[in-house]
Amino acid sequence: MIIYGLKTCDTCRKARKALPGAAFVDVRDEGLPGDVLDDAMAQFGEKLLNTRSATWRGLDDEARALLPAELIRRHPTVMKRPLVVDGARMVLGWDKAAQAALGVTGQETGT
């Protein structure tokens, strides 16, 4: 299992705490691998973009007009976080539904 996110993101910290055996990839430092991005775009589409993020707010109109996959390639911090990849399964975000999909319950959630 791999968690893609930001080491400074509180939500990603909660996911890492709840999934201690998962590897972690900081997308600010390492980016999102192309195959993972392609699979995530196929599954989540534009929901993969975090349009409430500081990164999004700082983008100009030209950058915002890019296709979502290209925008995430150029600015990986605009991706909604965390993206948890467990084999062929992908879970986006850290709400109750995401936690349930990963089998996380109770005090482990950090919520």
Annotated catalytic residue 12: no
In this structure, what are the phi and psi dihedrals at residue 6, rounded to the nearest 5 degrees? -120, 135
For residue 89, the SS3 value is: strand
Buried (b) or exposed (e) across 67-100, using 16+ Cβ within 10 A?
A: ebbebbeebbbbbbbbbbbeeeebbbbbeeebbe
3, 9, 18, 27: the catalytic one is: 9
Q: Return the active site residues.
A: 9
